[in-house]
Amino acid sequence: MCPDPVVLVIFGSGGDLNWRKLTPALYNLFLDKWLPEKFAIIGVDRREMSMEEFRDHLLDGVNRFSRRGRADPTTWSDFASHLAGYISADFDDSAMFTTLKDKLAAFDKGWNCRANHVFYLATPPALIPTVSEQLGSANLTSERDRARIVVEKPFGRDLKSAQELNAKLASVFHESQIYRIDHYLGKETVQNILVFRFANAFFEPVWDRRYIDNVQITVAEQVGVEHRGGYYEHAGALRDMVQNHLMQVLCYIAMEPPVSFDANEVRNKKLDVLRAIRPLRKKQVLECAVRGQYGPGRIDGENVIGYRQEPDVAPDSQAETFAAIRLFIENWRWQGVPFYLRTGKRLGEAISTVSIQFQAVPHQPFPASALEKHWQPNRLTIEIQPDEGICLHFHAKHPGPKICLESVDMRFSYKEAFNTEPPKAYETLLLDVLRGDATLFMRADQVEEAWSIVDPILEVWQAHSANFPNYPAGTWGPDAAESLLREDGRSWMQSASPREGTTGR
């Protein structure tokens, strides 16, 4: 439970993020008794709504998107009693922030205590400086132990803009008050990477260049850009997914053991990984990075349109919907081990996995007749979604008088092992914000270091037009993505069980 009284102020509370994610997560935390007895939620938005309309709007979101399904009327009524206000105003209206300050002071007086204040910016990125400046001007940020601000991605468009945004926030908030949220780090399986590595003795001794051949991180989506065409035109897959989600997962896989689970200790170890990644020179980008854009194709037997036919997308768009890169970490543990990262929309399957492929055995004593047709290397797959779990792929003898080797899987499933549904990512992260635990949130230096890695790729891609579209919807991306690994004598693994016909090094 989060014991400290708290008032959560959601800027942009009439928008999609609060409707789909935040309020359903808060409702589930309430049902599981993780919220303090004294808590209140205040909505702030430009959208005109009465308090009754605001509550009905949020109830509709809970009914649609809560992992528990439709809300029970009694428990919803109890939760809704904590929806303590809705303010309709422009975010640059200083009078509105004065009103907000008075409301927060009233809670302190009514509760007879000093509550924590969490300011959640569920707003477009361009409004972050405006809201933070107004909070500072209203003297709502000066108490470090009471005030926190939560900022959604994208955090900047490149290194320069991220540095400017960090400087703007730092002029109002101390770094310890800033929570840069990446919902991917709230997923149970992502967090379990640290537990798997550092709470078990049997894998960490082989978790280095001596035994691991390569690491593949894949976030594949079958959906297109849907209603986000306007956003995607200015973002693209590299900014939207690689710079944050995939880079953070890479850090968990590659980081050194932390001394403790202290927030700054864990984040320091992740920063060490980012700093050790070999910088990409511009002349290397075309050899180490691949981009793609989906054209018309078929998904689950149905015809789907190409990216350039999506709403709010330019007919000659150069925005990439697929990105793959090869990185190297230049330190003692990982020297020479390639890390392959890829993400894309309208791909052949909706999966998020980390595949750790081990080195081949140094000598194969079995006769050729004993080996299966497609020999597969030993591999450990961490399945982030949709089936959360861990799978170890190894070889065993098929029963019978002859020596015949087959590939088999040893699988751990969250659903089967714990017989419970894990909390959604936003439930975990919101609770951490309320508790003041920044372990799963990005620090300013982490954000800037991640941008410094992808900036050269962005610059080269912006300077050279691409021949789009270059992969049909329903496939696994452009041919160049396969070539990226084929040149190294390797191939992509599509899921926990290898796709028929694929081979590894």
Residues annotated as part of the active site = 245
Helix and strand element counts for the chain (H, E): 17, 18
- Is beta strand 147-152 parallel, antiparallel or unpaired with respect to 178-181? parallel
* φ, ψ of residue 10 in degrees (nearest 5): -105, 110
CA–CA dist 222, 143 (Å, integer): 45
- Is beta strand 389-397 parallel, antiparallel or unpaired with respect to 379-385? antiparallel
Shortest CA distance to 87 belongs to which of 96, 98, 79, 78? 96
CA–CA dist 469, 314 (Å, integer): 13
How crowded is the C-beta side of 109, counted as CA atoms within 13 Å? Answer: 6
Q: Please, which residues bridge with residue 298 across strands?
A: 303
Q: How wide is the angle at C-alpha 186 spanned by C-alphas 185 and 190, nearest 5°?
A: 55
CA–CA dist 435, 295 (Å, integer): 45
CB atoms within 10 A of CB 467: 7
CA–CA dist 311, 340 (Å, integer): 31
